[in-house]
């Protein structure tokens, strides 16, 4: 496991940060990429300390209260109107959101 | 003393006796915000018309008499991450700069039903990501005790409004310390309830397994009064707990004889801030004098909390913040040829650097090949941190610890070093990972006259024990009466 992480730290390059930004749908620029690269490297290096712990036999915690599925009656409640949904829309027309073209 | 300087319960008595009206008090707050808050920048927006209308309605009810809620006519501020219908909810982000909430958060509905008055929305670190309030699109909030210092974050605006008497009390949210740390830096009382105790419906999501709404108030009694109203199961938040809500004000008794207090050795380390150490030792003396029993405990994984938190919180944030894409609400970049470009331009223009950093960190730790090494690993360490508390609470009723390693720091001091900033939350983060309740209350001052606070933690859903201890402490000390000169 430690090997894996050490490998990944070396992989934090500006080029990879550009890739992470694109996965995050955040357009990157060279200036901020350089700063992000240094900062993420430092943060990931710090996070590495978790590998001091042997957790092979430990169950993961997803949720602190160990809730079971919560069900409710399948009833229609009119909390939001269609008009409500468009109140903050950048562009909409005839009951639809408008966006720039998706395909050529 | 002016009415705006009082606590909620004191003002309630005056309102009830008719010595002052809610409209008068509300107007005095609006006037104060307009004159004083230019320097502090604790509010993002005032909801003046709404407030005056609510105050007017409250006064009518006082005239009529009958059963009156302790929150009737009480002017509150609300962190700008909690939705009030018809009011801007910006999350201190450019991307939601003009977003107007179309529904009320459950906590807002509950406060409304009790006749509370909403003065406005308070400043925060963008999307609650930060520990200093410097990550706000609307500029940093300043600490009312000294304007060169940060108020803490992310609920720094809320804590500053309470400290500077710009409201009677406030609601904040706490994901890794965001209520307790600013309450500590501003010398007020901040409660993070048990995860699930208060509905999160209408709280803009940051890290859903950690987020919790809580109170920021001038004293412990006010916190219990607010919690009586906002706590409880909500069908709109399936993670809210279906557990009866007690009358928290019944726990406000000045008696902790025989209460067992745990002192975690990991939180009192060599080299800790001298003033913080001194104040905590004094607090221990007060509790001992009141008949509490002390026991040493160990939270042996405390040192791993920050690393665990930044994996889990960032991962959850990267998913939660995917909704800001310029399609249905919020900012949309104007300079885009096609849909994909519109997404990425919008998010580049709309998010600040800290939010981008965390989305990217979260995306990275969740990406193929790294999931097990980071995300799963952190979930396992979370189990260990949670178990530390379970073991500790076998030996004690409450745990006392510093809220932060040091008092408020200066603006700009840590802004270029995110990791250093993250580490300032080292004493608050474990509580969120374990989901337990914790309060921060003032327990002294540094030699620079900056407030210092202590945390009191308890088992899941044992806010009552916290209130009992914190109330007893405040009945026997005077730190919470001190106010900054603004």
A64 CB neighbours in chain B (<8 A) are 195, 209, 386, 433-435, 460
Q: Residue B306: what pLDDT?
A: 96
B461 inside domain:
no
**In the prediction, which pLDDT does B270 show?**
75
Who among A22, A64, A87 is closest to B435 (CB)?
A64
Q: Which of B42, B77, B79, B155 is catalytic?
A: B79
- Kindly report, residue by residue over A37-69, the tens digit of the pLDDT: 999 999 999 999 999 999 999 999 988 987 788
Q: Give the orientation angle of helix B463-475 with respect to helix B220-230, to 10 degrees.
A: 160
B79 is catalytic: yes
Q: Helix axis angle, B220-230 relative to B106-113, nearest 10°?
A: 110
Nearest 10 degrees: Cα torsion B358, B359, B360, B364: 100
> For residues B256 and B189, what is the distance between their CA atoms, to the nearest angstrom?
19
Find out whether B190 and B179 touch, Cβ atoms under 8 Å.
yes
How far apart are alpha carbons B366 and B373 in whole angstroms? 10
Please list every residue in chain B whose beta carbon sits closer than 8 Å to the beta carbon of residue A36.
Answer: 356-357, 360
In degrees and rounded to multiples of 5, residue B411 shows phi and psi of -55, 135
Per residue in A55-79, is it b (16+ CB within 10 Å) or e — as a string?
beebeebeebbeeeeeeeeeeeeee
pLDDT digits (tens, 9 = 90+) for B233-243: 999 999 999 99
Tell me the pLDDT tens digit for each residue of B58-97.
999 999 999 999 999 999 999 999 999 999 999 999 999 9
Hey, how many other C-beta atoms are within 10 angstroms of the C-beta on B54? 25
| pLDDT higher than threshold 80 for residue A8 | no
Question: What pLDDT band is residue A9 in, cutting at 50, 70 and 90?
Answer: low
Q: Per-residue pLDDT tens for B127-179?
A: 999 999 999 999 999 999 999 999 999 999 999 999 999 999 999 999 999 99
**Is the pLDDT score of A7 beyond 70?**
no
| B20 in a structural domain | yes
pTM as predicted: 0.96
Instruction: Tell me whether residue B173 is in a domain.
Output: yes
In a domain, B62, yes or no: yes
CATH number of the domain within which B225 lies? 3.90.1300.10
Task: Report which of B231, B262, B237, B209 is spatially closest to residue B434, judged by C-alpha positions.
Answer: B209
Q: Which residues of chain B have pLDDT under 50?
A: none
Among partner residues B343, B373, B381, which is closest to A53 by beta-carbon distance? B381
Partner-chain residue, chosen from A8, A21, A79, that has the shortest CB–CB distance to B360: A21
Q: Answer whether A25 sits within 8 Å of B344, measured CB to CB.
A: yes
Query: How many domains is chain B built from?
Result: 1
Do residues B358 and B313 lie in contact, with contact meaning Cβ atoms separated by under 8 Å?
Answer: yes
B382 touches chain A (CB under 8 A): yes
What tokens were used for B16? Answer: 């009830």
- Residue B111 within a domain: yes
Instruction: Find the domain containing B35 and state its range.
Output: 3-256
pLDDT for the residue B357: 96
Rg from Cα positions in chain A? 23
Residue B317, domain member (yes or no): no
Which of B272, B77, B61, B79 is closest to B169 using CA atoms? Answer: B77
Interchain proximity A91–B332, CB inside 8 Å: yes
Whether B381 maps to a domain, the answer reads no
Select the more confidently predicted residue: B196 or A6.
B196
- Residue B148 in any domain: the answer is yes
DSSP H helical ranges for B65-188: 106-113, 156-163, 180-186
Q: Are B130 and B153 in contact (CB under 8 A)?
A: yes
Residues of chain A with pLDDT > 70: what percent?
89
């Amino acid at each position: 496991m430690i090997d894996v992480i050490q490998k990944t730290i070396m992989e934090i390059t500006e080029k990879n940060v550009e890739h992470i930004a694109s996965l995050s749908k955040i357009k990157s620029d060279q200036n901020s990429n350089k700063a992000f690269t240094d900062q993420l490297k430092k943060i990931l290096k710090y996070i590495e300390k978790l590998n001091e712990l042997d957790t092979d036999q430990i169950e993961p915690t997803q949720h602190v209260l160990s809730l079971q599925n919560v069900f409710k009656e399948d009833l229609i409640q009119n909390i939001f109107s269609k008009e409500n949904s468009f109140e903050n829309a950048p562009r909409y027309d005839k009951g639809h959101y408008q966006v720039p073209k998706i395909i050529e | 003393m002016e009415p705006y300087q009082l606590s909620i319960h004191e003002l309630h008595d005056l309102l009830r006796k008719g010595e002052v009206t809610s409209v008068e008090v509300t107007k005095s707050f609006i006037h104060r915000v307009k004159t004083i808050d230019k320097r502090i920048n604790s509010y993002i927006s005032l909801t003046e018309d709404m407030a005056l209308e609510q105050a007017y309605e409250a006064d009518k009810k006082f005239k009529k008499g009958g059963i009156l809620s302790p929150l009737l006519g009480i002017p509150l501020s609300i962190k700008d991450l909690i939705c009030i219908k018809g009011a801007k909810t910006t999350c201190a982000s450019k991307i939601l700069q003009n977003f107007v909430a179309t529904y009320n958060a459950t906590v807002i509905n509950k406060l409304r039903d009790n006749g509370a008055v909403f003065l406005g929305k308070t400043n925060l670190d963008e999307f609650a990501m930060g520990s200093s309030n410097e990550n706000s699109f609307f500029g940093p909030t300043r600490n009312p005790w000294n304007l060169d210092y940060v108020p803490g974050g992310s609920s720094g605006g809320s804590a500053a409004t309470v400290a500077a008497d710009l409201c009677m009390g406030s609601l904040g949210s706490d994901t890794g310390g965001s209520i307790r740390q600013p309450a500590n830096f501003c010398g007020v009382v901040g409660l993070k309830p048990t995860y699930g105790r208060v509905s999160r419906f209408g709280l803009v999501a940051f890290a859903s397994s950690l987020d919790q709404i809580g109170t920021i108030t001038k004293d412990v009694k006010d916190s219990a009064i607010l919690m009586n109203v906002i706590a409880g199961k909500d069908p709109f938040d399936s993670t809210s707990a279906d557990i009866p809500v007690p009358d928290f004000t019944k726990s406000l008794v000045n008696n902790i004889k025989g209460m067992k207090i745990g002192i975690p050795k990991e939180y009192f380390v060599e080299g800790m801030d001298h003033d913080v150490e001194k104040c905590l030792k004094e607090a221990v003396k007060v509790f001992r004098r009141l008949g509490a029993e002390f026991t040493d405990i160990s939270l042996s994984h405390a040192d791993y909390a920050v690393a665990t938190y930044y994996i889990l919180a960032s991962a959850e944030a990267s998913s939660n913040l995917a909704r800001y894409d310029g399609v249905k609400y919020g900012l949309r970049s104007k300079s885009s040829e096609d849909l994909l470009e519109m997404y990425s331009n919008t998010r580049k223009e709309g998010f600040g650097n800290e939010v981008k950093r965390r989305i990217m960190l979260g995306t990275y730790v969740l990406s193929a090949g790294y999931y097990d090494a980071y995300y799963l690993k952190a979930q396992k360490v979370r189990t260990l941190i949670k178990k530390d508390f379970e073991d500790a609470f076998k030996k004690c009723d409450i745990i006392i610890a510093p809220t932060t390693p040091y008092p408020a720091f200066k603006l700009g001091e840590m802004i270029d070093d995110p990791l250093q900033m993250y580490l300032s939350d080292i004493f608050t983060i474990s509580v969120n990972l374990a989901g337990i309740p914790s309060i921060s209350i003032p327990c002294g001052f540094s030699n620079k006259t900056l407030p210092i606070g202590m945390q009191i933690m308890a088992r899941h859903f044992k806010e009552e024990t916290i209130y009992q201890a914190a109330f007893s402490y405040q009945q026997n000390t005077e730190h919470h009466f001190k106010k900054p000169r603004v």
